[in-house]
A = this chain, B = another copy of it.
Amino acid sequence: MEAKLTQLKALLGEVMDLSHTAAVLEWDQQTYMPPDGAEDRGNQMATIEKIQHVKFTSEEVGKLLEDLRPWVSQLDPDSDDARLVIKTQREYDKQTKVPADMVAEFAQITSAAFSAWQVARAESNFAKFRPHLEKVVDWKRRYAALFTPYDHVYDPLLDDFEPGMKTAEVKAIFEALRPQQVALIKAISERPQVDDSFLHQPFDEKKQWDFGVEVATQLGYNWKRGRQDKAPHPFTTTFGIDDVRITTRFMPDFFSSAFFSTTHETGHALYEMGIDRQLSRTPLADGASLGVHESQSRLWENLVGRSRPFWEGFYPRLKEYFPSQLGKVSLDAFYKGINKVEPNLIRVESDEATYNLHIMLRLEIEIGLMEGSMVVKDLPEIWKTRMQEYLGLTPPDDARGVLQDIHWSNGYLGYFSTYALGNLISAQLWERINADIPDLSDQIRRGEFSALLGWLRQKIHRHGAKFEPQELVQRVTGSKIDPAPYIRYLNAKYGEIYGL
């Protein structure tokens, strides 16, 4: 049995090598690839992904899993080997359920949908995207049907990003969250607005870069095992536990963009860098889910990076970088400025307090489309109505409304809620961390992050993808994903800033 396990690990190692190789191709495409290289790169990506799929869904893997099952059931259920076989079996069952021609069809649908979306958004013309989105939804409904019986038709989609999570759970969480977030935003809107004009000045790119690197280093990012490059849309990517790279982008006239992008991506990277080496080159060398991943990025970006103690420590240093821009701005004014709440039509430009409402709108639409209670042609109107209801805004056109995000054109239905779940988990962990490290604020004020990072490594990072997200959160905090800590966090923080 040991030999069969070794054989399985060797096969999975090659699958992981292919996955990491695809990540290198993608990273290069987003950072350095010359413009005309796209066609060749498309061929390379398609070939690598095809080989990876064929290798992972091979009969050889299936047979090894089958042989190992009885043996695994006698192991400690929390052991790496038991979890590896269980996780692999789960993924194998999912991937082998989808016929090859359906996989190929999906690639064609989304390739055309992406091109159509680019044109539709540029022209703010939903009609050009509509037939493609209809095809995506139709495919996703056929995809979901492969996984009957399910509790909810949206479950199989959600499961692709949040393993084990059910639509009913997410709905319950969001229904508890929505009225409270709407009420908070309303209360804020009735108070005098904070000033953040000093953030909108020229900030030298090189200095922005250096300050970001200095902070990432202090947070614990290891430059021998990673690097930062520029990319149009910042992301973190993993080529192995010892090569986890981040990217950022710079706005010459706005401080927050690059800095909070760097802290966000550093949070993702610290997760990947902290996975137990024993799990290297296995499917367990990954985050538990996109939501848990996002909890790490949001924790470092918001709960650390947008906190008062953090800037009590770092603001004097930042002023050394930008004396003419910030010399006369008080710490209190700076802290309020970087936490300004202002409803925004665009999700990716939204603040902590309003962001989740963007997600809820998208989740409602995705569930509606899958259930059949909504149809694609009505989306522009639904979007406008709900944006007004949640944020008090009405998009002047579909480019700044239903067409703003790339995800659906790529076939990513089931993905959006992970962003909001990440926010919730981050606050839930934060309460636990502060209970375990009572002087955390003082440590952060002093620029000491090793106890915090150590806690996250111990409780979250090292486990990789051994546990499903709800199980992991339950183990660490004592309860499943719960919106209450996030609400408490928002109310306390913004109550103080806006004097509610």
Contact = CB atoms under 8 A, between A and B. Distances in A.
A48 B17 CA distance: 8
A51 B51 CA distance: 9
Contacts of A32: 32, 227, 229
A228 to B, nearest CB: 10
A33 interface: yes
A448 interface: no
B21 A243 contact: no
Nearest to A242: B36
A388 interface: no
A14 B25 CA distance: 15
Given A41-B239, A41-B243, A241-B40, A48 B34 contact: no
A32 B35 CA distance: 19
A386 interface: no
Copies in the complex: 2
Interface stretch (A218-226, A414-422, A489-497): A218-226
A14 B35 CA distance: 22
A495 B239 CA distance: 55
A28 interface: yes
A107 interface: no
Contact of A34 (B17, B25, B226): B226
Interface string A220-250: 0011111101000000000111110100000
A25 B36 contact: no
A44 interface: yes
Contacts of A17: 43-44, 46-48
A239 B41 CA distance: 8
Contacts of A41: 239-240, 243
B20 A243 contact: no
Nearest to A50: B14
A39 interface: yes
Q: Which of A51, A226, A229 has the most CB of B within 10 A?
A: A51
Interface in A1-55: 13-14, 17-18, 20-21, 24-25, 28, 32-37, 39-41, 43-44, 46-48, 50-51
Contacts of A28: 24, 28
A222 B37 CA distance: 12
A223 to B, nearest CB: 7
A281 interface: yes
A296 to B, nearest CB: 20
A241 B41 CA distance: 11
A40 B242 contact: yes
A174 to B, nearest CB: 38
A47 B18 contact: yes
Given A21-B21, A224-B34, A224-B35, A40 B240 contact: yes
Contact of A240 (B20, B37, B224): B37
Contacts of A14: 47, 50-51
A39 B240 contact: yes
Contacts of A223: 34
Contact of A21 (B34, B44, B222, B241): B44
Interface string A238-273: 011111010000000000000000000000000000
A36 to B, nearest CB: 4
A224 B240 CA distance: 30
B43 A281 contact: yes
Contact of A40 (B40, B46, B51, B243): B243
B20 A44 contact: yes
A430 B245 CA distance: 47
Q: Which of A46, A222, A241, A243 has the most CB of B within 10 A?
A: A243
The 8 closest A-B pairs by CB, nearest first: A40-B240, A37-B243, A17-B47, A36-B242, A36-B225, A17-B44, A36-B224, A14-B47
26 contacts: A13-B47, A14-B47, A14-B50, A14-B51, A17-B44, A17-B46, A18-B48, A20-B44, A21-B25, A21-B48, A24-B25, A24-B44, A32-B229, A34-B223, A34-B242, A34-B245, A35-B224, A36-B222, A37-B239, A37-B242, A40-B243, A41-B240, A41-B243, A44-B239, A44-B240, A51-B51
Given A37-B242, A40-B240, 4 more contacts: A13-B43, A32-B32, A34-B223, A41-B239
